[in-house]
Amino acid sequence: MTAVAARARSPAIGNRQPPFRYGAVFAIVITLVLFEVVAPDDDWARAIVVALAGAALTVAVATSRARAQVRRTRAWLVGGFALLVVIGIAAGLFGAAITFAVVTLLILGIPVALVGGLLRLIRTAGVTIQVVAGALTVYLVVGLLFASIIAFAATVESSPYFAQGKNVSNGERVYYSFTVLTTTGFGDFTAAQPFGHALAVLEMLTGQLYLVTVIGIVVGNFAGRRTPRDVQAQRSPPDLEEA
């Protein structure tokens, strides 16, 4: 094959598919979860939360299988939007309510950007470590989204959301959400209203069903998958022992 023919058969540089980076998205999201648990309700902490959520969504968008120009445009839009919000928080232009809405929107976009790429990766390469990381990322995002719902419910309800009757921080809501999602239930925070009870049941069911179905199937297929070397070894006839 000549060099010209090889170049003709190879994809153009601008059209090459990006590598899957679901491991990076998982690392950013778990950092976001831990930071939200320990961070105070200050402007600088909210700015970092927006930056982490924006970074996770930007990487998820950049690793999608859309055309190169579409990927770049979307990644620049998401990253630029998050940067503008961070600057606005630092300048005192955005309060806690706007920051909460922006973070929820960014977090909600992460699974939307991941699911399509995960399905394509499974069809083309099977269950890989990147698929496992992507599936775990969606699990973490579920916990963050329920924490956002709890925060919204606590804001609009006239009575306290928690039976302990005290105003809780955002970190405590995230902490409570993940104790419910994992059915740990330490009991230091419990919902006081019927809506809170129903939401806790829904989150527990979501977490357990996701673990035993999606995560169970993904991890099971990853543990039992065969490498190309295993397939080649199976196809090759065994050496005959000498008499």
CA dist 45 and 191 (Å) reads 26
186 pLDDT more than 80? yes
Q: What is the mean pLDDT of the chain?
A: 85
Q: What is the pLDDT of residue 172?
A: 94
pLDDT digits (tens, 9 = 90+) for 195-233: 999 999 999 999 999 999 998 888 888 876 655 455 454
Tell me the C-alpha to C-alpha distance, in Å, between residue 66 and each of 122, 183, 205.
Answer: 16, 37, 33
Identify which has the larger pLDDT, 45 or 166.
45
Residue 84 banded pLDDT, cuts 50, 70, 90: very high
Residues 6+ apart with CB under 8 A from 133: 22, 23, 25, 26
136 pLDDT more than 90? yes
187 pLDDT more than 50? yes
Question: For the chain, what percent of residues have pLDDT higher than 70?
Answer: 83
135 pLDDT more than 60? yes
Q: What is the pLDDT of residue 36?
A: 96
The mean-pLDDT minimum among 57-71, 159-173, 185-199 falls in 57-71
88 pLDDT more than 60? yes
pLDDT digits (tens, 9 = 90+) for 24-65: 999 999 999 999 999 998 999 999 999 999 999 999 998 876
102 pLDDT more than 90? yes
CA dist 99 and 80 (Å) reads 15
Nearest to 205 by CA among 182, 178, 173: 182
